[in-house]
Structure 1
Amino acid sequence: MPSWGRAGMEKGHPAGGGPSGGGGVRGGLLGRVGGCSTQPFTTLLSPRRQILQEGVDSSLRQLLIEAFVSAGRVDNITMVMGLHPQYLSSFWKTQYLLLRMDGPLPYHKRHYIAIMAAARHQCSYLVGLHMEEFLRVGGNPAWLQGLHYAPQKLRNLNEINKLLAHRPWLITKEHIEALLKTGENSWSLAELVQALVLLTHYHSLASFVFGCGINPEEDQDGGHGCWPPSPHSDSSPASDDSMGGSGGKDAMQEVEVLMERMKLLQESQLEEEGVTQEEMATRFELEKTESLLVTPSDIADHSLQSNVLCFVEDPEFSYKDFTRRGEQAPPTFHAQDYTWEDHGYSLINRLYPDVGQLLDEKFQVVYNLTYNTIAMHCGVDTSMLRRAIWNYVHCVFGIRYDDYDYGEVNQLLERSLKVYIKTVACYPEKTTKRMYTQFWRHFKHSEKVHINLLLLEARMQAALLYALRAVTRYMT
């Protein structure tokens, strides 16, 4: 069972409730807030007027006000996350601590690290945001000409930035040791831990940006206005694409098939005595191997923009499947050997007080967030589905939970959803609108936003576990 947080989660019984902690139907697996909807991969992802109209939760209104007072703007990421205020609150507190509260690193270097991280995934949206913030807090404009203009100490992060973004399982204690060795450009352990959290935070946030198709604000380069859909609708991608006739029926049938599979799995869990450890291991290896076949057929062509390319060294380095045919695969990371709950949390809290608690809260909130509904169905226990999504993300990064039956992943996640998950988690810059519309065609946009929140946090926890394990090995 994965460590959703230090408190964990009782199997099959998610901590209930919506943004205010209560139950209720919000229009899907996660639902929506205040009737606002979000249309990915278009100019519709900044529905400021719509999200602030009648029916908006007071908690969301307060969060948006706080965001504006703090940063002088409400960016599109905040607006999209605002579909789920409980998560937005947790995310906002964490990011505020990382960027604006006391910590080992000066503020301008934190924003520069954010730029370096976002550039690895060609995320010009985040690069642009943090170039502005870097200058606002007094950063040297010359550094923005490219990585070669930055101090050597920051440039030394390039290798671990590259590995964390694309192949975190390759990180060793030697990478940590190289950064901490004595000299004028050495990092302290506290500084390095803050940098590692920032890097993983912005790699994962880039996944969210591409996964939801978030565009720049109007006042950013490349930004534009928006023509939001009706503020009282949270339509499915299928209806937005004018899917009618047999397409609409097929999309509805997909929901019924998923519901039936969940029901059968829950019943079989109650009836059977349990799967042997050997069978569990076999099913994980099978899922890991099958993930090789899950590749997108319509890869987005993203040519690196000059304002992004200048922050990237070795741009050809990218995600490589954990298991490759004919190659010696790295050893599987058994989650029980180095858990967030028992190891990662305490290490971060010791070296970077408070952030461990906030990360822990964020992991728990995103997993336990549910309205107990799926598409048009109410009263549904969605914990099995959320667990399958989380564990599939960790699987493609080589992490195995010994007590989880990976047969559930194949039962619950159809191929188009697997393609989307793997693309957004591993090479988000290749995400296309078609990938987004092809999975869960009868689900609401707000439900798909929650998929992206799960991907963001599962990916961040996976990379952090690899990095913190290397730090622990260095310290011992």
Structure 2
Amino acid sequence: VLPGPRPRQPPLLCTRTGPLPPLQQPRSVSVRSSQHLAAFGVPHDRECGGSLALHLLPACPSQDRQCLWGDVREEELGIRIPRPLGHGPSRFIPEKETVEVGREDAAMHALFADAFATLGRLDNVTLVMVFHPQYLESFLKTQHYLLQMDGPLPLHYRHYIGIMAAARHQCSYLVNLHVNDFLHVGGDPKWLNGLENAPQKLQNLGELNKMLAHRPWLITKEHIEQLLKTEENSWSLAELIHAVVLLTHYHSLASFTFGCGISPEIDCEGGHTFRPPSVSNYCICDISNGYHGGDEHPGSPAASLPSLCEVEALMEKMKQLQECRDEEEASQEEMATRFEREKRESMLVCSSEDEESAPARDVSRHFEDTSYGYKDFSRHGMHVPTFRAQDYSWEDHGYSLVNRLYPDVGQLLDEKFHIAYNLTYNTMAMHKDVDTSMLRRAIWNYIHCMFGIRYDDYDYGEINQLLDRSFKVYIKTVVCTPEKTTKRMYDSFWRQFEHSEKVHVNLLLVEARMQAELLYALRAITRYMT
């Protein structure tokens, strides 16, 4: 910490003016801007600057808890000091059970460094995803390629498309992040006043955006033709593939954001308050997400016994289903009947349970037709057409199309899909050496079933055996109407499982949803091309 008067001195790294004991100095530092690094002779290259900033990061977001702000209030009289609204990166997961920045192992530290270098920040999505480092590495690599590497679309278009996609689910967290990024890369602020202020080319993408987000089965080659053959504002095939991947990426990331209860960072809208701490132990964000102060976590004695029984019962069902597989195999006709039954039943699962979710900030200006949504479809008794995976699959068709028109992205997406689907630690709650492949496949196929996608070699009767109603409600809400997800819904399924296992479920939901949307869009593009 540099002593002395402020005028004509290098910018201070710390708000304190007096000396500190040596052991306290690193913990009381808060970087104010990247210019301060240059003031101390630190090179401005990404690797070095990012490394130093990451080293200081544990102190930066929490200086209000590690510095006594009395001297600041005396010096800066009249300046209100923000404090975090909530505790930790997630409203659903206790802060003590997440990875504490500064105490991560070497592998996680490297991931944090990559995230910081790529995003310019260590966001709360990363701090929750790091429960599964292998997936996080693939996710960061893919997102970096989509947003920053060479590609068909200019940088400001990429961030604006991210805003459009996140806004379909009223995900103000992602919208606000990309508003900042959009402006940072030179985007026109007028575009942020509403989609009608953006170029006609982006406005034309609005119809595809809403169908992908809510009813992808309605996408036809005619929709693709309208985008590609508009004379003055037409999209190239490569641009359209890039846009489709971005839209599906941010629709599914909105699902993860709501499904894991991601909290805004302190410097984001909705992430801070200027009010003094309440005498209560919970904040308004807990109330609005269905939490009213009672400890409903599996560790409570009241929950332990039934939850333990739930785990044992699930494992027993898996064992019985495996034995049935070995003894007999259902006919193709019976398999088709079970799929149609499960598809119909999935329409009857109420995705929101009529609960009040967190009040969303108005982001409607970023998209059109705010009344268009999945719930309108499901409540009017309309029929989801069946999409047979054997006729058009990611592995045999979608992968090659994406890679041909947007090189390397097909490979990145394929890797991410496979990691999420195959990720396992061979555990279930407190049990070890458990084969969870049957359960993971049931979750993945249930999501695709809701979108009408059928696998001929799968017995859909297994879904009802392995996924109870509370779990189905959570899955459908996170996938179809994620903005309605509540903490009560998160707590109500798999009560004895670890939070890392519930985050793993969300990774499956994210990737299964993204792949389902991609399949419908890519099939329509393929039909247009042929």
For normalisation by structure 1, the TM-score amounts to 0.85
1:290 aligns with 2:345: yes
Percent identity over the alignment is 66
Q: Which residue pairs with 2:518 in the alignment?
A: 464
- CA positional deviation for 1:305: 2.7
1:215 aligns with 2:270: no
Instruction: Summarize the Cα distance change of 1:162–1:72 in structure 2 as closer, same or farther, 3 Å threshold.
Output: same
Q: Which residue pairs with 2:473 in the alignment?
A: 419
The one of 140, 153, 170 aligned to 2:201? 153
- Structure scoring higher RCO (CA < 8 A, sep ≥ 6) equals 1
| CA deviations over 1:285-339 (Å, ceiling 9, x no partner) | 1111111221132433465533x11112110100148777764x24300011001
Q: Which residue pairs with 1:370 in the alignment?
A: 424
Q: Which residue pairs with 2:455 in the alignment?
A: 401
The one of 387, 395, 402 aligned to 1:348? 402
Q: Which residue pairs with 1:5 in the alignment?
A: none
Looking at structure 1, the residues matched to 503 and 230 of structure 2 have their Cα atoms a distance apart, in angstroms, of: 45
Count of aligned pairs between the two proteins = 427
Looking at CA atoms only, which structure, 1 or 2, has the larger radius of gyration? Answer: 2
1:268 aligns with 2:324: yes
Looking at structure 2, the residues matched to 210 and 326 of structure 1 have their Cα atoms a distance apart, in angstroms, of: 27
Looking at structure 1, the residues matched to 121 and 508 of structure 2 have their Cα atoms a distance apart, in angstroms, of: 26
2:98–2:128 Cα contact (<8 Å) kept: no
**Counterpart mapping for 1:193-342 below 5 A:** 193-224=241-272, 241=297, 244-272=300-328, 274-295=329-350, 296-301=352-357, 305-306=361-362, 308-320=363-375, 327=382, 329-342=383-396
Write the letter of the residue equivalent to 2:446: Y
Looking at structure 2, the residues matched to 454 and 38 of structure 1 have their Cα atoms a distance apart, in angstroms, of: 23
3-state secondary structure, aligned to 1:336: coil
| CA deviations over 1:424-470 (Å, ceiling 9, x no partner) | 00110111111100000011111000000000000000000000000
Q: Which residue pairs with 1:185 in the alignment?
A: 233
Instruction: Summarize the Cα distance change of 1:195–1:454 in structure 2 as closer, same or farther, 3 Å threshold.
Output: same
Looking at structure 1, the residues matched to 443 and 314 of structure 2 have their Cα atoms a distance apart, in angstroms, of: 14
Q: Which residue pairs with 2:163 in the alignment?
A: 115
The one of 99, 104, 120 aligned to 2:147? 99
Looking at structure 2, the residues matched to 193 and 279 of structure 1 have their Cα atoms a distance apart, in angstroms, of: 37
Looking at structure 2, the residues matched to 262 and 365 of structure 1 have their Cα atoms a distance apart, in angstroms, of: 22
- Unaligned ranges ≥5, structure 2: 1-86, 283-293
**Counterpart mapping for 1:9-158 below 5 A:** 40-41=90-91, 50-53=100-103, 56-158=104-206
Instruction: Summarize the Cα distance change of 1:255–1:172 in structure 2 as closer, same or farther, 3 Å threshold.
Output: same
1:433 aligns with 2:506: no
Instruction: Summarize the Cα distance change of 1:372–1:446 in structure 2 as closer, same or farther, 3 Å threshold.
Output: same
Instruction: Summarize the Cα distance change of 1:75–1:325 in structure 2 as closer, same or farther, 3 Å threshold.
Output: closer
Write the letter of the residue equivalent to 1:248: S
1:289–1:323 Cα contact (<8 Å) kept: no
- Unaligned ranges ≥5, structure 1: 1-36, 229-237
- CA positional deviation for 1:49: 7.2
Instruction: Summarize the Cα distance change of 1:38–1:359 in structure 2 as closer, same or farther, 3 Å threshold.
Output: farther
Q: Please provide the CA RMSD for this pair.
A: 2.4
